Amino acid sequence: MMRDQNKKKEEKVKQLQEFVARFSANASKSKQATSRKKMLEKIDLDDIEPSSRKYPYVAFKPEREVGNDILTVVDLCKTIDGEKVLDNVSFTMAKEDKIALVGTNEVAYTTLLKILSGEMEPDSGHYKWGVTVTNAHFPKDSSPYFQDEELNLVDWLRQFSTDKADSYVRGFLGKMLFSGEEALKSLKVLSGGERVRCMLAKMMLCHANVLLLDQPTNHLDLESITALNNGLRDFNGNIIFTSHDRQFVQTIATRIMEFTPSGIVDLRVSYDEYLERTAV
β-bridge partners, 263: 260
In contact, 94 and 70? CB cutoff 8 Å: yes
Q: Give dist(CA 186, CA 153) in Å, integer.
A: 6
Alpha helices in the chain (DSSP H): 2-23, 30-42, 106-116, 153-158, 166-175, 192-206, 222-234, 246-252, 271-278
> Cα–Cα distance between 93 and 100 in angstroms, integer?
12
Phi, psi torsion values for 152, nearest 5 degrees: -90, 170
- Read off the pLDDT of residues 248-266 as tens digits, 9 standing for 90 and up: 999 999 999 999 988 899 9
User: Cα-flanking dihedrals φ and ψ of residue 56, to 5°?
Assistant: -65, 165
What's the CATH code, domain 71-145+192-278? 3.40.50.300
**pLDDT for 16-40, tens place per residue?**
566 656 655 565 565 666 665 666 5
Q: What is the CA radius of gyration of the chain?
A: 20
pTM for the model? 0.83
At a CB cut-off of 8 Å and minimum separation 6, what does 246 contact? 22, 25, 271
d(CA 180, CA 222): 23
* pLDDT tens per residue across span 204-248: 999 999 999 999 999 999 999 999 999 999 999 999 999 999 999
